[in-house]
Amino acid sequence: DAGITQSPRHKVTETGTPVTLRCHQTENHRYMYWYRQDPGHGLRLIHYSYGVKDTDKGEVSDGYSVSRSKTEDFLLTLESATSSQTSVYFCASLRDSKSETQYFGPGTRLLVL
Amino acid sequence: QQQVKQSPQSLIVQKGGIPIINCAYENTAFDYFPWYQQFPGKGPALLIAIRPDVSEKKEGRFTISFNKSAKQFSLHIMDSQPGDSATYFCAASRGGSYIPTFGRGTSLIVHP
């Protein structure tokens, strides 16, 4: 599972507050991803990183930002949480460009009231 | 634009049945087709994968059938068990790309 951990695992917050989710991997994988999972929508890519300080937007990036200052850590920030961002967030990693299997973390369940 | 279409969205079978989940893709450049299995409260994990140079791949009770001309692939679960109850995602990617395209998932329930 590439030793991927996510924190926190559960969070309840209020509309308008900033929230940061953390993903940590121990396998020195180059690529990291943030997805959100919602019923009927499957996994949707929010942002991804292809190296330290190298990130790009996915299909549902509005309202989210990311940072990757170290290979092992990839942070997802909800700048001002909204109820539509209530979801389960998954981090994933991929070893390198020749790899094909993504490894997923256990997920963070976020509730925005 | 959904590049990988997965069906059905949900599926209920009895123990011993053979659930079949289908996926169709549009991009002919895709050359790797994995299936991920996700149990409640867990992240997805790779179950089985296939490349377009073969038409079928089996791993235990799980089989992928691949039809390159129709741009379709499917997952069959032989002798399904209640422990197979999970959400299944198909995906597709192409060599050199590190961003797979996922289907929307199928929730499978296997009744005892």
Q: Residue A20 has what pLDDT?
A: 98
Measured between CA atoms, the residue of chain A closest to residue B44 is A104
CB contact under 8 A, A100 and B44: no
Task: Give the E-state strand segments of B26-105 in sequence order.
Answer: 33-38, 45-50, 56-59, 62-67, 72-77, 86-92, 101-102
The string of pLDDT tens digits covering residues A73-108 is: 999 999 999 999 999 999 999 998 888 889 999 999
Q: Measured between beta carbons, which residues in chain B are less than 8 angstroms from residue A105?
A: 43
Nearest to B46 among A33, A43, A101 (CB): A101
Q: Residue B30 has what pLDDT?
A: 92
Q: Residue A79 has what pLDDT?
A: 93
Nearest to B103 among A42, A45, A107 (CB): A42
Q: What is the mean pLDDT of residues A49-74?
A: 96
Q: Residue B1 has what pLDDT?
A: 55
Cβ-proximal residues to A10 (8 Å cutoff; 6+ apart), any chain: A108, A109, A110
What is the number of helices (H) and of strands (E) in chain A? 0, 11
Q: Is B89 on the interface with A (CB under 8 A)?
A: yes
Q: Residue A96 has what pLDDT?
A: 85
pLDDT per residue, tens digit, chain B (112 aa), is 568 999 999 999 999 999 999 999 999 999 999 999 999 999 999 999 999 999 999 999 999 999 999 999 999 999 999 999 999 999 999 877 788 999 999 999 999 9
Return the percentage of chain A with pLDDT > 70, whole number.
Answer: 98
- Burial class of B71 by CB neighbour count within 10 A (0 to 12, 13 to 18, 19+): middle
Q: Residue B73 has what pLDDT?
A: 97
pLDDT at residue A2 greater than cutoff 70: no
pLDDT at residue A19 greater than cutoff 70: yes
**pLDDT band at A1; cut points 50, 70, 90:** low
CB contact under 8 A, B43 and A102: no
Measured between CA atoms, the residue of chain B closest to residue A36 is B43
CB contact under 8 A, B45 and A104: yes
Residues of A with CB under 8 A from a CB of B: 1, 4, 31, 33, 40-43, 45, 48, 50, 58, 90, 92, 94, 97, 100-107
Answer yes or no: are the C-beta atoms of A35 and A44 closer than 8 Å.
yes
